[in-house]
């Protein structure tokens, strides 16, 4: 039931024990919360935020993004790979050019909620 790695409960914790145990019982799976953190981590970089913002306005190729953000194609490409792995962007190839676009309707909504928080002072 209790393995050796668990923390000893402090006196304070014992006092509020019932509430804490109820919350513990309701806690989502470890993995689900981990995945959620991983998702937000992808949003937590200004380069990727700029890319996502740009793609929320228009589909774009890699060199367009590089020009827009004033960064190297390589740097942009690395970040696009991450964004694609997270299923936040998709791409289509047209000759030499690869166009990227948002791959999720939720992106704009997550974005929007964040903006509201940031804009409140």
In this structure, what token pair is assigned to residue 43? Answer: 């949003």
What does residue 89 show for φ and ψ, rounded to 5 degrees? -130, 155
R_g of the chain, CA atoms, integer Å: 21
Contacts of 2 (CB under 8 A, 6+ apart): none
Residue 20 touching a copy of itself (CB under 8 A): yes
Residue 44 touching a copy of itself (CB under 8 A): yes
- In eight-state DSSP terms, residue 120 is -
Binding to a copy of itself by CB under 8 A, coded x per residue (else -) over 48-87, reads xxx--xx--xx-xx-xx-xxx-xxxx--------------
Backbone torsion region of residue 9, taken as left when φ is above 0, otherwise alpha when ψ lies between -120 and 50, otherwise beta: beta
Binding site for a copy of itself (CB under 8 A): 5-7, 9-10, 12-13, 16, 19-20, 22-24, 26-28, 32-46, 48-50, 53-54, 57-58, 60-61, 63-64, 66-68, 70-73, 96-97, 104, 106-107, 109-111, 113-119
Binding site for DNA (CB under 7 A): 10-13, 41, 45, 47, 61-63, 66, 71-82, 91, 95-99
């Amino acid at each position: 039931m209790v393995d050796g790695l668990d923390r000893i409960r402090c006196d304070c914790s014992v006092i509020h024990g019932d509430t804490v145990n109820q919350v513990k019982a309701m806690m989502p799976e470890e993995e689900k919360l981990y995945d959620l953190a991983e998702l937000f981590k992808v949003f937590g970089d200004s380069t990727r935020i700029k890319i996502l913002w740009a793609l929320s306005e228009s589909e774009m190729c890699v060199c367009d993004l590089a020009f827009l953000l004033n960064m190297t194609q390589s740097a942009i490409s690395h970040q696009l790979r991450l964004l694609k792995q997270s299923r936040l962007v998709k791409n289509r190839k047209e000759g030499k050019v690869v166009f990227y676009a948002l791959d999720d309707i939720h992106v704009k909504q997550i974005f929007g909620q964040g903006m509201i928080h940031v804009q409140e002072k």
